Amino acid sequence: MKTSAQVVVIGGGVVGCSVLYHLTKLGWSDVMLVERKELTSGSTWHAAGGFHMLNGNTNMAALQGYTIRLYKELEELTGMSCGLHHVGGITLADNRDRFDMLVAERAKHRYMGLDTEIVGPEEIARIAPITSLDGIVGGLYDPLDGHLDPSGTTHAYVKAACMGGAAIETHCMVTATTQRADGTWDVVTDKGTVHAEHVVNAGGLWAREVGAMAGIYFPLHPMEHQYIVTDDIPEIYERGEEHPHVMDPAGESYLRQEGRGLCIGFYEKPCRPWAVDGTPWNFGHELLPDDFDKIEDSIAFAYKRFPVLETAGVKSVIHGPFTFAPDGNPLVGPVPGVRNYWSACGVMAGFSQGGGVGLTRAQWMIEGEADRDVTGLDVGRFGAWITPGYTLPKVIENYQNRFSIAYPNEELPAARPHRTTPMYDIFTDPGAVWGHQFGLEVPNYFAAAAEPDYEEPSFRRSNAFDATSREVAAVRGAVGINELQNFGKFSVTGSDARAWLGRIMAGRIPRPGRMALSPLLSEKGRLIGDFTVSCLSDTEFQLTVSYGAQAIHYRWFLKHLAGDVQVRNVSDARTGFQIAGPRARDLLTACTRDPVDLTFMDVRRMTVGQAACIVQRVSYTGDLGYEIYCDPMDQRALWWTLWEAGQPLSLEPFGMRAMMSLRLDKFFGAWLREYSPDYTAAETGLDRFFDWSKDFIGKTAAEAERAAPPARALVTFIVDADKADVTAYEPVFIEGEVRGFCTSGGYAHHSGLSVAHALIPRDRAVEGLVVEIEILDQRRRATLTVTPPFDADGTRMRG
Ligand SMILES: Cc1cc2nc3c(=O)[nH]c(=O)nc-3n(C[C@H](O)[C@H](O)[C@H](O)COP(=O)(O)OP(=O)(O)OC[C@H]3O[C@@H](n4cnc5c(N)ncnc54)[C@H](O)[C@@H]3O)c2cc1C
């Protein structure tokens, strides 16, 4: 056995083998995989082998598309068969909301260049004739759906990896992973120790245990899952062609042909987590006992949807465990805070996603970054706050919702409230309807006494519309207040702080007492952050940014730390309030003895009421506004000071729905919507904040883009919408052809306009351009507009 390797991958399931292959594909050959038994000895061997591209997250859909296309390449490269059956598949809709969701997915696929198709009941009868059409509204057909042989595919990955120089060691159990002082790893196995520069945890069902060897908690959990293979069915084997896949979300089932019969699996509501206190090491090539009780209702439903099943005998039952992360997406990438330790686990659909996960992981390790936005699968998207107690109910919820409709305004209830601020009860009293971000409860809006205390999930304008309208009017008319807890915050101190920030940030670093907006770029010039930099003194700065990305940004800062600089993630150690609206200055004046003469983008320490605060003259609402940061222990006192002083000024609380509407009045973009690693600063206009006079990470790539401007540009449209607005990824038709897509949108209550941001060809980005945007199957006229409808000259915001 090798005693050293550049990379050791732990785990020979489909994911570990794909990672190994992709490392060699991208040019690293001193790589090794260790497997405690035979290859496929976890979830992989008993998978149904189905693959599909449909995924609400467009980057996950693209990653799945890559995986599916890879299989042919793998077969050609190795001469081995993956047992591919590209039979196509239909996802059924039995009600209007499900159909809306499929239509919205199809709309996204238009700009992704995918050949999916909305089909009606007659076409469903033709394509998938064993389906009962009772109550079926329509479906989405995807010609890329299919299935394969799980074991053959895993071995094909391994053969391809070995052709690229990789080594495999089976029957080799990892018992410890120990980091040396220089950051490299000793991977201790029952056959000896391998010294590795990098370790990859692809331990699948045992990823928690493998992680614990390095003191790392991976937020994932195994769930039991069952599918049934039937005896021969004449209606199947007498057809001249293979029956396509049918996904029936109403019945929580997926079905496909297996030999001369069918195979049907269920994501049943009475599901069961497996191995709650840890996966036994002696588990391997065995199955769990059959359990028809928990899928009884699902089977009864399936008999109605596919009547041929009722008389079919059962040939075999496959009941095994596989892992999920709390949001159902894989956990990939460098583990925050642990040098050279990488994650490739929590992959619940290894045959739809394994190839893309392998590629992403290999790019990240070898090239320093992936070639698309990987936030949705980044292991860093969960912070240090996550615990097994939170993960378990979320994973159960995710399993149960696997086939549920995913609404753009949906707030899932499991494991909540988890993290709350001192404002939780104060805001609950006047009717806060809570949402959640990064584990934190955040008020979405405040319902009036006569209104329901929950928001109906919807693809259209929801029952939060009136409350949002009231809150927007309160801000624009007088003054509104909301919490600042859900801002990511970093403190940067030290004698080299200014110089360090100058190199990390692409923008100008402000002088003491001032703030500046600054993009953060990767080495390849990708947009990886959109920061506000506040200079408290030459040796002390505060950075504010998206709350959900704090662990990812912190990982980046620590990786690039140099000189006398201390960076602290103070996202939860600094909280406070934002006040905004024409009377915001009066409110602050009433609460402090300090002079309230801050001009736009000033920052200053002040005492507000009894609390020592950092006050910034800025507001994402685009109005006259202040951000007031304090210690969480002072937050309630600060609230009562502001609230009482605000009564004569008509102060009202507002939530995130109002905030996102207010920003649309000013055409402001949002992180991971308009600004994300998928787009560049030049495409989105953020390059206007670059300080070209200095060196900064990503400058070479940014200069190249300046010399050859990108083909796309971010623009804003006013849409002739009716009861449904743009959410994200709707296609933009220019002269009847799909030429762009929306990044986000919504209803700007103050202006009374439906607003959409979109990326379209730069040469068409001209004021007045009339396009059509597809919203829920309707093409809506939209006009490119440059001037925001509110405070276009900035008098209110800067005044
Ligand atoms: C019933 C069922 C049906 C499914 N159907 C589908 C489907 O149709 N399509 C689809 O895409 N997905 C399906 N899945 C999910 C799929 O099986 C998983 O997504 C996939 O197998 C995960 O692969 P993995 O490599 O991450 O993990 P695993 O397959 O669990 O592999 C982990 C490997 O790591 C090894 N290992 C662990 N610890 C150590 C150690 N300390 N030292 C050395 N080696 C170690 C294990 O022995 C194991 O071989 C199904 C799952 C189930 C249960």
Furthest C-alpha separation in the chain: 87
Residue whose pair of structure tokens reads 């042989």 in the numeric block: 149
User: Distance, CA 168 to ligand 1 centroid (Å)?
Assistant: 17
User: Can you tell me which atom of ligand 1 is nearest the CA of 213?
Assistant: 41
Q: How far apart are CA 524 and CA 24, in angstroms?
A: 22
Nearest Cα residue to 761 out of 730, 726, 732: 732
Establish whether residue 352 lines the binding site of ligand 1, counting it when its CB lies within 6 angstroms of any ligand atom: yes
User: Distance, CA 481 to ligand 1 centroid (Å)?
Assistant: 48
3-state secondary structure of 392: helix
User: Can you tell me which atom of ligand 1 is nearest the CA of 284?
Assistant: 47
Establish whether residue 346 lines the binding site of ligand 1, counting it when its CB lies within 6 angstroms of any ligand atom: no
Does the structure show a pLDDT above 90 at 54? no
Nearest Cα residue to 467 out of 651, 661, 622, 646: 661
Please state the φ and ψ torsions of residue 32, each to the nearest 5 degrees.
-145, 145
Average pLDDT rounded to a whole number, residues 207-232: 98
Structure-block tokens of residue 756: 């959409």
Q: Which residues contact 752 (CB under 8 A, 6 or more apart)?
A: none
User: Can you tell me which atom of ligand 1 is nearest the CA of 225?
Assistant: 1
Per DSSP, the chain holds a count of helices (H) and strands (E) of 20, 37
The per-residue pLDDT for 108 is 86
User: Can you tell me which atom of ligand 1 is nearest the CA of 41?
Assistant: 49
3-state secondary structure of 568: strand
Does the structure show a pLDDT above 90 at 58? no
User: Distance, CA 91 to ligand 1 centroid (Å)?
Assistant: 25
Q: How far apart are CA 488 and CA 694, in angstroms?
A: 26
Is residue 99 within 8 Å of 137, Cβ to Cβ? yes
Does the structure show a pLDDT above 90 at 155? yes
Nearest Cα residue to 136 out of 120, 123, 149, 114: 120
Q: DSSP character for 206? A: G
Output the residue whose Cα is nearest ligand 1's atom 14. 47
Output the residue whose Cα is nearest ligand 1's atom 37. 203
Q: What is the torsion angle, in degrees rounded to the nearest 10, for the CA atoms of residue 228, residue 229, residue 232 and residue 237?
A: 110
How much is the mean pLDDT over the chain? 96
Q: How far apart are CA 143 and CA 137, in angstroms?
A: 20
The per-residue pLDDT for 111 is 82
Cβ neighbourhood burial of 610 (10 Å; 0-12, 13-18, 19+): exposed
Establish whether residue 733 lines the binding site of ligand 1, counting it when its CB lies within 6 angstroms of any ligand atom: no
User: Distance, CA 36 to ligand 1 centroid (Å)?
Assistant: 13
3-state secondary structure of 443: strand
C-alpha triplet 242, 351, 83: angle, nearest 5°: 45
The per-residue pLDDT for 107 is 87
User: Distance, CA 354 to ligand 1 centroid (Å)?
Assistant: 10
Is residue 177 within 8 Å of 214, Cβ to Cβ? yes
Establish whether residue 173 lines the binding site of ligand 1, counting it when its CB lies within 6 angstroms of any ligand atom: yes
> What is the DSSP pairing of strand 487-493 with strand 515-521?
unpaired
Establish whether residue 256 lines the binding site of ligand 1, counting it when its CB lies within 6 angstroms of any ligand atom: no
Residue-wise pLDDT tens digits, 537-574: 999 999 999 999 999 999 999 999 999 999 999 999 99
Does the structure show a pLDDT above 90 at 285? no
User: Can you tell me which atom of ligand 1 is nearest the CA of 322?
Assistant: 53
Q: 196-222 in b/e burial notation, b at 16+ Cβ within 10 A? A: bbbbbbbbbbbbbbbbebbebebbbbb
DSSP secondary structure string, 703-750? Answer: HHHHHS--SEEEEEEEE--SS----S--EEEETTEEEEEEEEEEEETT
Full-model pTM: 0.96
User: Distance, CA 347 to ligand 1 centroid (Å)?
Assistant: 8
> In which region does residue 197 sit, left (phi positive, over 0), alpha (psi from -120 to 50) or beta (all else)?
alpha
The per-residue pLDDT for 251 is 95
Establish whether residue 20 lines the binding site of ligand 1, counting it when its CB lies within 6 angstroms of any ligand atom: no
Q: How far apart are CA 695 and CA 563, in angstroms?
A: 17
Q: DSSP character for 301? A: H
Cβ neighbourhood burial of 282 (10 Å; 0-12, 13-18, 19+): exposed
Q: How far apart are CA 21 and CA 775, in angstroms?
A: 41
Is residue 300 within 8 Å of 252, Cβ to Cβ? no
Q: Which residues contact 392 (CB under 8 A, 6 or more apart)?
A: 221, 273, 276
Is residue 725 within 8 Å of 746, Cβ to Cβ? yes
User: Can you tell me which atom of ligand 1 is nearest the CA of 38?
Assistant: 49
C-alpha triplet 635, 641, 642: angle, nearest 5°: 90
User: Distance, CA 42 to ligand 1 centroid (Å)?
Assistant: 4
Is residue 757 within 8 Å of 715, Cβ to Cβ? yes
Is residue 94 within 8 Å of 250, Cβ to Cβ? yes
Report the residue among 19, 35, 43 best suited for mutation to probe ligand 1: largest number of ligand atoms under 8 A from its CB: 43
User: Distance, CA 47 to ligand 1 centroid (Å)?
Assistant: 8
Q: How far apart are CA 172 and CA 182, in angstroms?
A: 26
What sign does the CA torsion over 499, 505, 507, 512 have? negative
Establish whether residue 9 lines the binding site of ligand 1, counting it when its CB lies within 6 angstroms of any ligand atom: no
Establish whether residue 318 lines the binding site of ligand 1, counting it when its CB lies within 6 angstroms of any ligand atom: yes
Establish whether residue 349 lines the binding site of ligand 1, counting it when its CB lies within 6 angstroms of any ligand atom: yes
The per-residue pLDDT for 53 is 87
Q: How far apart are CA 143 and CA 352, in angstroms?
A: 14
Establish whether residue 246 lines the binding site of ligand 1, counting it when its CB lies within 6 angstroms of any ligand atom: no
User: Distance, CA 152 to ligand 1 centroid (Å)?
Assistant: 14
Region of poorest pLDDT, from 101-115, 393-407, 578-592: 101-115
Is residue 426 within 8 Å of 636, Cβ to Cβ? yes
Residue-wise pLDDT tens digits, 590-647: 999 999 999 999 999 999 999 999 999 999 999 999 999 999 999 999 999 999 999 9
Output the residue whose Cα is nearest ligand 1's atom 12. 349
Residue-wise pLDDT tens digits, 427-450: 999 999 999 999 999 999 999 999
CB hemisphere CA count around 47 (13 angstroms): 30
Distances (CA, A) of 302 to 251, 261, 705: 6, 15, 54
Q: At what angle do helices 58-78 and 96-112 cross, to 10 degrees?
A: 60
Output the residue whose Cα is nearest ligand 1's atom 21. 44
Does the structure show a pLDDT above 90 at 319? yes
Does the structure show a pLDDT above 90 at 55? no
pLDDT > 90: what percent of the chain? 95
Establish whether residue 50 lines the binding site of ligand 1, counting it when its CB lies within 6 angstroms of any ligand atom: yes
Residue-wise pLDDT tens digits, 750-788: 999 999 999 999 999 999 999 999 998 899 999 999 999
Q: How many residues appear in the chain?
A: 799
Output the residue whose Cα is nearest ligand 1's atom 41. 174
Does the structure show a pLDDT above 90 at 332? yes
Establish whether residue 101 lines the binding site of ligand 1, counting it when its CB lies within 6 angstroms of any ligand atom: no
Report the residue among 37, 38, 316, 322 best suited for mutation to probe ligand 1: largest number of ligand atoms under 8 A from its CB: 322
Nearest Cα residue to 698 out of 455, 477, 513, 518: 518
Amino acid in position 5? A
Output the residue whose Cα is nearest ligand 1's atom 4. 47
Cβ neighbourhood burial of 83 (10 Å; 0-12, 13-18, 19+): middle
Average pLDDT rounded to a whole number, residues 11-26: 98
Does the structure show a pLDDT above 90 at 141? yes
Establish whether residue 14 lines the binding site of ligand 1, counting it when its CB lies within 6 angstroms of any ligand atom: yes
Q: Which residues contact 311 (CB under 8 A, 6 or more apart)?
A: none
Q: At what angle do helices 656-665 and 465-477 cross, to 10 degrees?
A: 60
User: Can you tell me which atom of ligand 1 is nearest the CA of 17?
Assistant: 25
User: Can you tell me which atom of ligand 1 is nearest the CA of 210?
Assistant: 41
User: Distance, CA 18 to ligand 1 centroid (Å)?
Assistant: 12
Average pLDDT rounded to a whole number, residues 79-88: 96
What sign does the CA torsion over 673, 486, 498, 563 have? negative
Nearest Cα residue to 534 out of 630, 667, 627: 627
Is residue 156 within 8 Å of 75, Cβ to Cβ? yes
Average pLDDT rounded to a whole number, residues 723-731: 95
CB hemisphere CA count around 128 (13 angstroms): 33
Report the residue among 20, 44, 175 best suited for mutation to probe ligand 1: largest number of ligand atoms under 8 A from its CB: 44
User: Distance, CA 16 to ligand 1 centroid (Å)?
Assistant: 9
Structure-block tokens of residue 278: 């840890």
Establish whether residue 204 lines the binding site of ligand 1, counting it when its CB lies within 6 angstroms of any ligand atom: yes
